[in-house]
């Protein structure tokens, strides 16, 4: 059997792929956080809970309304995004003039309430979402077996990331968003409805979390705590990448997934902490993050 540094190639590629898939989730979630932070200056602690809402949304739609995966993939992010719009309009906007720490506390409280309610109704153990029929099975590659659904997650996750990047960096609406991030008051003076743009931006960032949740439902166990477990790592990814750049968030998310995957091969014991090692290093050397702008 072929080996690299004493590690079978099959294991290496397997972990690399797993890392990329995790990385796609990190990218999707840190992207949403970066978009929200850019305009609202709020660290959205409810992001994990909103991701969990996406996964549960898919599960509940299937169980109670018999809505299949493909419809859910469109419908759930819209629903979760609409919840986000209500949160911004009726809660975050009321405290927007205060120190941004209050936004962090408010979203943190929301996350606890949402998670707590779901634990109350669905218990902690979680449920499984079936892999949609069209995506069952897999490809037998030379070096490993690639489950079709995992390949799909990678394609769909990266596709959504690139779509978001394109929308923000290459369109007129995106130019409004970038400019509004810099000088919201001047944008108002130009006649741009910033309160509306802010609401929609939060809704969009939250919808991204919901989309990630639907993608995750067939892979990870759908449970109330699934978001908060992931969010800690995503925050580390955001710190490493820096808040300034959309492409930075995507690349850092993928890279951290891969680094985590490779660590599982070469030094399994430290796989769950390696991202935090990187975070500490980056904070010491480049406090604004790899792609961040000067503060």
Partner 1 sequence: MSRPDAQLLISNLHAFYGESHILHGINLEVNRGELVTLLGRNGSGRSTTLKAIMNMVDRRTGSIMIDGRETLNVAPHRIARLGVGFCPEERGIFASLSVEENLLLPPTVASGGMSLDELFEMFPNLYERRKSQGTRLSGGEQQMLAMARILRTGAKLLLLDEITEGLAPVIVERLGEVLMELKRRGMTIVLVEQNFRFAAPLADRHYLIEHGQVIDSFSAAELAGKRDQLNAMLGV
User: Interface with partner 1 by CB under 8 A: which residues?
Assistant: 172, 175-176, 178-179, 181-183, 185-195
Closest distance between partner 1 and the C-beta of residue 198, in Å?
12
Burial label, 185 (beta-carbon count in 10 A; 0-12, 13-18, 19+): exposed
**Cα separation, 262 vs 258, whole angstroms:** 6
Nearer to partner 1, 31 or 62 (CB): 31
State in angstroms the smallest separation of the CB of 34 from partner 1.
13
Which residues, other chains included, contact 204 with Cβ-Cβ below 8 Å and sequence gap of 6+?
Answer: 32, 35, 81
d(CA 295, CA 283): 13
CA 176/CA 287 separation, integer angstroms = 28
Nearest-angstrom CA–CA distance, 23 and 254: 4
Residue nearer to partner 1 on the CB measure, 179 or 262: 179
* Least CB distance to partner 1 at residue 90 (A): 19
CB atoms inside a 10 Å sphere around CB 90: 9
Min dist CB 172 to partner 1, Å, is 7
Of 48 and 244, the one with the shorter C-beta distance to partner 1 is 244
Nearer to partner 1, 30 or 181 (CB): 181
Contact status, residue 52 vs residue 112, Cβ threshold 8 Å: no
- Residue 170 beta carbon to partner 1: minimum distance, rounded to whole angstroms: 10
- The nearest distance, CB 281 to partner 1, in angstroms, is 27
Radius of gyration of the chain (CA): 19
Q: Which of 187/265 has CB closer to partner 1?
A: 187
| Among 199, 291, 295, CA closest to 250 | 291
If the CB atoms of residues 218 and 242 are measured against partner 1, the closer one turns out to be: 242
The nearer residue to partner 1, 59 or 197, going by C-beta atoms, is: 197
Task: State the minimum distance, in angstroms, from the CB of residue 204 to partner 1.
Answer: 18
Name which of 13, 4, 5, 266 is nearest 143 in CA terms.
13
The total of other beta-carbon atoms located within 10 Å of residue 92's CB is 23
CB of 27 vs partner 1, minimal distance in Å = 20
Of 162 and 186, CB closest to partner 1:
186
What does the block give as tokens for 232? Answer: 């800690």
Contact between 176 and 192 (Cβ < 8 Å): yes
End-to-end CA distance of the chain: 51
């Amino acid at each position: 059997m072929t080996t690299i540094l004493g590690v079978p190639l099959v294991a290496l590629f397997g972990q690399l792929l797993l890392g990329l898939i995790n990385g796609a989730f990190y990218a999707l979630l840190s992207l949403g956080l970066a978009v929200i932070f850019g305009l609202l200056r709020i660290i959205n602690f409810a992001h994990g809970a909103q991701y969990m809402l996406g996964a549960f949304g898919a599960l509940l739609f299937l169980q109670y309304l018999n809505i299949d995966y493909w419809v859910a993939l469109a419908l759930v992010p819209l629903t979760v995004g609409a919840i986000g719009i209500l949160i911004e309009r009726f809660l975050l906007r009321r405290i927007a003039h205060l120190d941004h720490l209050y936004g962090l506390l408010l979203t943190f409280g929301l996350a606890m309430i949402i998670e707590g309610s779901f634990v109350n109704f669905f218990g902690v153990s979680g449920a499984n979402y079936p892999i949609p029929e069209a995506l069952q099975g897999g490809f037998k590659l030379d070096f490993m077996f690639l489950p079709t659904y995992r390949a799909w997650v990678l394609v769909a996750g990266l596709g959504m990331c690139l779509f978001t990047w394109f929308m923000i960096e290459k369109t007129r609406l995106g130019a409004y968003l970038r400019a509004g991030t810099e000088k919201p008051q001047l944008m108002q003076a130009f006649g741009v409805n910033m309160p509306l743009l802010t609401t929609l931006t939060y809704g969009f960032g939250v919808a991204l979390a919901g989309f990630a949740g639907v993608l995750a439902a067939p892979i990870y166990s759908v449970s109330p705590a699934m978001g908060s477990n992931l969010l800690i790592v995503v925050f580390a990814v955001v710190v490493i990448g820096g808040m300034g750049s959309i492409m930075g968030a995507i690349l850092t998310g993928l890279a951290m997934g891969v680094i985590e995957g490779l660590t599982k091969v070469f030094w399994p014991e430290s796989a769950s902490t390696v991202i935090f090692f990187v975070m500490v290093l980056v904070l010491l050397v480049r406090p604004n993050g790899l792609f961040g702008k000067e503060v």
